[in-house]
Structure 1
Amino acid sequence: MLKFYLRRDKKMIKLGIIGTNWITQQFIDAIKESKRYQLTSVYSRHLDTAKSFADHNGATETFDDLKTFFNEGDFDTLYIASPNSLHFDQAKQAIDHEKNVIVEKPAFMNVDQMDQIQALLKEHPTVSYFEAARNIHTPNFRAISEKLADLKLVQGAEFTYSKYSSRYDKVLAGEEPNVFSLKFAGGALQDLGVYTVYDAVTLFGLPTAATYYPQLVSTGVDGKGTAILSYPNYNVTLNFSKISNSYMTSEIYGLKDVIELDDAGEIQRVNYIDAKGQRSPIGEQTDQNPMLPEALDFARVISDPDNAKNKQDYDRWLKLSVGVNRVLFDLRKSAHIKFEGE
């Protein structure tokens, strides 16, 4: 399946990174497997942290000053995995320095930030921007899309993605880690709910209305919640949590048949359940790094942006990023959740 993504042009993409947490390491592991990128430059607020990450992953240069990183760093593409509230300013600087940008989800806090980024991209037409929503790039997601097109009738969906965060232990102890902080644009909707919003918007388009019912924690962010996306003929329900686990499957409803996902974020197993209740696996069950498909997709576009298919895919992903940003903002607005600085 992955051979589809590979090109004969093996020019390596020089990658710089901001953020040295576990998600960055998973992405670096993916790009090593892809053989399309070379990690060259690592930025961290603490030089020791940058050097440790660089030594572990073979990067050639480290920085603890962001201005120097952008002015002197030997990279053409930047991966941003800093706290959510920092994405906007860092992406702006990258685009101004003619660097391609891969931003971890959620890309930006609100519609105004997204609008400014889109305007900036028009001023820098050779720069590519991607939001790292890994779920929609997987072979299993393509299998869902193809099966959905075969359903005689669609009557909505329920997407669930709930995973207890170890950092909630710190909240219970009276601390405020970034992912549970309004200052850093944290919360369950931003961290896990974004996957379910991507599922819904990619498969069904933009909703006509979006309402969020959050359960707030002591720091003021949403620890868990339920969102309702309204479409002309059905609703889509989103359930997500960082303060509890769920082992419920996700489902897309036909007339008598169902598409079943193991969860809405990782999507490692997908079944089609027919009118008689018989399950048939679709897609593929894999233990590969879940960030490998998106890394290959981004490399394909960066390496050959004028290719017709690559341009079509890029435009679609860009439109999805803008749409998901709008839905996330509308959901927060419906629940009266504001981040610091908004």
Structure 2
Amino acid sequence: MIKLGIIGTNWITKMFVEAALATNEYVLTTVYSRSLDSGEKFLADLRIEDASVVTTLSDLYADIDVVYIASPNALHFEQSKAAIEADVHVIVEKPTTSNPVEFAEIEQLLAQHADVRYFEAARHIHQPNFKIIAQTIGELSEIQGATLVYQKYSSRFDAYLAGKEPNVLTREFSAGALYDLGIYPIYAAIALFGAPQAVQYLPILLANGADARGTANLFYDKYNVTVIFGKNANSYLPSEFYGLKETISTSNIAELEHVTYYDGEGQTENIGETPYDNPMIREAQDFANVINDPVGNHVIYNQWFQLAKQVNQTLFDLRSSAGIEFPADQKE
């Protein structure tokens, strides 16, 4: 069994732990929390009695195989570095780091710890329905781009309107719409079409300089991909991929609840599978496969790592095009 440690006690951490346990590949051994009470409540909610709570990273990394990091974005870099230096595998929530300079340092550190594996938890690209979309796009005679949408009113936006500064809506924590929600469609676009030749981001900014919503354009040789996302409004538009007459549609590029194929001649086919209730099970299993057999899964691991690197660079290029700077950039 893979000994799992976690950083963060929020809803997404709970979802990942439940997914990891459902694979029967992991055992949760250690929870890191700044508050002992918060960590103990987290374990109680999961009804897990044989795990410990620690309040220092050194204690967390002392006896685990892999850490799942779901802290605020700006903390991912230092916490990942500490794990790699302790020869602990890393599963880090999106985005891996704040900018390409930090990512390059992670890459250099991994070269010094060759047995450590570093995963970005982009759960949707591991879903069967995403793979069905990829296969169907590959069968099109011509690709004419896509329109990808992920816009959801943030549970923290009311707090922002009340005058507070939630982490997910501040540049100080390397957050905002692009890095918290836009990363889902950006990941999908690059996984399916490769890195764009050029990018443009048109954001709607909050008073604190963070982006609340925006439209990103990814430019390819023969087509463009338009990406719409945001945290201050809801959208119910589907995401679509375009052939000539054909269109592939999914309800939500992050959740991939269903996939529909339109042949352009009046015929429609549901080509998707019914997803798991917990959308993180597939990625947890994929990561376990690599950890348990790194040699046999070396090729797919490298593909995921290079994809994460391309996404990181594209996110940086997008916000640079809009003049959005993070405090983390000043360390460059």
TM-score by length of 1: 0.94
Contact 2:247 2:262 in 1 (8 A): yes
Contact 1:229 1:235 in 2 (8 A): yes
Structure 1 residue 304 corresponds to structure 2 residue 293? yes
1:268-307 matches, cutoff 5 A: 268-307=257-296
Structure 1 residue 62 corresponds to structure 2 residue 69? no
Higher alpha-carbon deviation: 279-288 or 188-197: 279-288
Higher alpha-carbon deviation: 45-54 or 100-109: 45-54
Contact 2:93 2:121 in 1 (8 A): yes
1:312-331 matches, cutoff 5 A: 312-331=299-318
Deviation at 1:277, TM superposition (A): 3.3
Amino acid at match of 1:187: G
In structure 2, how many angstroms separate the alpha carbons of the residues matched to 1:252 and 1:216?
A: 28
In structure 2, how many angstroms separate the alpha carbons of the residues matched to 1:86 and 1:278?
A: 49
Structure 1 residue 179 corresponds to structure 2 residue 168? yes
Higher alpha-carbon deviation: 201-210 or 211-220: 211-220
In structure 1, the residue corresponding to 2:119 is in which secondary structure? strand
Amino acid at match of 1:339: F
In structure 1, how many angstroms separate the alpha carbons of the residues matched to 2:103 and 2:210?
A: 22
In structure 2, how many angstroms separate the alpha carbons of the residues matched to 1:29 and 1:277?
A: 42
Q: Percent identity?
A: 49
Amino acid at match of 2:103: M
Structure 1 residue corresponding to 2:194, chosen from 199, 205, 209? 205
**Corresponding residue for residue 3 of structure 1:** none
Contact 2:145 2:225 in 1 (8 A): yes
In structure 1, how many angstroms separate the alpha carbons of the residues matched to 2:207 and 2:273?
A: 41
Contact 2:174 2:328 in 1 (8 A): no
* CA deviations over 1:137-171 (Å, ceiling 9, x no partner): 00001100110111010000000001101200011
* CA deviations over 1:70-107 (Å, ceiling 9, x no partner): 3x3x2110000000000000000000000000000011
In structure 2, the residue corresponding to 1:243 is in which secondary structure? coil
**Corresponding residue for residue 249 of structure 2:** 260
Structure 2 spans left out of the alignment, 5+ residues: none
**Corresponding residue for residue 67 of structure 2:** 78
Deviation at 1:31, TM superposition (A): 1.0
TM-score by length of 2: 0.97
In structure 2, how many angstroms separate the alpha carbons of the residues matched to 1:103 and 1:47?
A: 22
In structure 2, how many angstroms separate the alpha carbons of the residues matched to 1:121 and 1:325?
A: 17
In structure 1, the residue corresponding to 2:28 is in which secondary structure? strand
* CA deviations over 1:31-72 (Å, ceiling 9, x no partner): 1211110000000111111122133332521111223323x3
In structure 1, how many angstroms separate the alpha carbons of the residues matched to 2:324 and 2:58?
A: 32
Aligned residues: 327
In structure 1, how many angstroms separate the alpha carbons of the residues matched to 2:95 and 2:196?
A: 18
In structure 2, how many angstroms separate the alpha carbons of the residues matched to 1:144 and 1:23?
A: 25
Amino acid at match of 1:159: L
Contact 1:171 1:219 in 2 (8 A): no
Contact 2:169 2:175 in 1 (8 A): yes
RMSD: 1.0
Higher alpha-carbon deviation: 281-290 or 105-114: 281-290
Structure 1 residue 138 corresponds to structure 2 residue 127? yes
In structure 2, the residue corresponding to 1:171 is in which secondary structure? helix
In structure 2, the residue corresponding to 1:341 is in which secondary structure? helix
Deviation at 1:186, TM superposition (A): 1.0
Runs (4 or more) in structure 1 with deviation over 3 Å come to none
